[in-house]
Chain A
Amino acid sequence: MANLDFQNVFDTLKKEVTNLALSTVKGYVKEATADALSLVEKMKENLKTWTLELANNEISAKDYEFLILGQKELLEMNALKQAGLAQIKIDEFKNSILNGIVTTVIGLI
């Protein structure tokens, strides 16, 4: 077995982990932003429609209030989902680190 240059191994791993972290965070932020923006876009349309329906007496003030509050709760659900997705990304990141370490170290044995 060749002499293990641990410093080199750790430096390589450090570089790989940093790159992986940056690409994971970048990818996640892009996805989360797109998801939230799509919801906000739908919300904008909904608010216009509901206000018009209220003005035309097609829905009551109570219906309107329920829809507005429901929209708010939907946004809260989206925030919860995003928190869960972030947790998943962390797990995927940990999994990738694990694979990197195993591959690097096994390759040296």
Chain B
Amino acid sequence: METIKLSCRFRIFALLFVIISFVSCSSISLFDQQAYTQTTSIKVDALNLMDSAKYEYVTQQKYIKEYETKQQKIYEYEKNRPKNEFTIKLWDKLLDKNGHLLGGFFYRWETEGKLNKIYIVEAKKLIDQAFDQISGLESNKIKPSDISK
């Protein structure tokens, strides 16, 4: 009788193990505080740098280079996080040189020398919201501490 009870318990635990293994795999990366902080921090840097587009690109190259290096580090960090495809696609969209968001803005600044002040103000509104899409996705990701609570 005791053997039957043990066998039944074993089967239940085995069933639980299989279910847990199947269900508990996340399909998207978990929340990462560092990624969130880096994104919100570089958003401020990007918006400040955009203000400088009223000056000639060549006179601002030092600051642009500093900004680009910081941005590359963040992108690299995001790229190496597992199951982070949605965030990477968002960054790609934002930084696309052939697009019309941040990448396109910098490319236009570089090719045209300097940009119209009113255009800069309006473009900043879009870039602000574009960064919010990335940080908004990150902040909604499941916290590692919330897994199977």
Interface flags for B98-116 (1: CB within 8 Å of A; 0: not) read: 0111001100100000011
Q: How many residues of A contact B (CB 8 A)?
A: 43
A74 in the interface (beta carbon within 8 A) = yes
- Best-buried of B9, B126, B141, B146 by chain A (most CB within 10 Å): B126
Question: Are B122 and A50 in contact (CB-based, < 8 A)?
Answer: yes
Q: Which of B5, B89, B105, B140 touches A80 (beta carbons < 8 Å)? A: B89
Residues of A within 8 A of B89 (CB): 80
The answer to whether B23 touches A94 (Cβ under 8 A) is: yes
Given the complex of chains A and B, what is the CA–CA distance between A78 and B133 in angstroms?
6
Taking a contact as CB atoms closer than 8 A, the residue among B19, B126, B136, B137 that contacts A70 in the complex is B126
Q: Is the CB–CB distance between A95 and B126 below 8 Å?
A: no
B90 touching A63 by the CB < 8 A rule?
no
Q: Is the CB of B86 within 8 A of A95?
A: no
A1 close to B122 (CB less than 8 A): no
Q: Looking at A69, A73, A84, A98, which has the most chain B CB atoms within 10 Å of its CB?
A: A84
Q: Mark B29-73 against chain A: 1 for CB-CB distance below 8 A, else 0.
A: 000000000000000000000000000000000000000000000
For the complex, what is the distance from the CA of A46 to the CA of B94, rounded to whole Å?
19
Please give, as numbers and ranges, the residues of chain A lying within 8 Å of B16 by CB-CB distance.
101-102, 105-106
Other A-B contacts than A88-B142, A98-B19, 17 sampled, CB-CB below 8 A, are A39-B129, A63-B115, A67-B122, A67-B123, A70-B104, A70-B123, A73-B130, A77-B90, A77-B93, A80-B86, A81-B90, A84-B86, A98-B148, A101-B19, A102-B16, A102-B148, A105-B12
Question: Which B residues are closer than 8 A to A by beta carbons?
Answer: 5, 8-9, 12, 15-16, 19-20, 23-24, 26-28, 86-87, 89-90, 93-94, 96, 99-101, 104-105, 108, 115-116, 118-119, 122-123, 125-126, 129-130, 133-134, 136-137, 140-142, 146-149
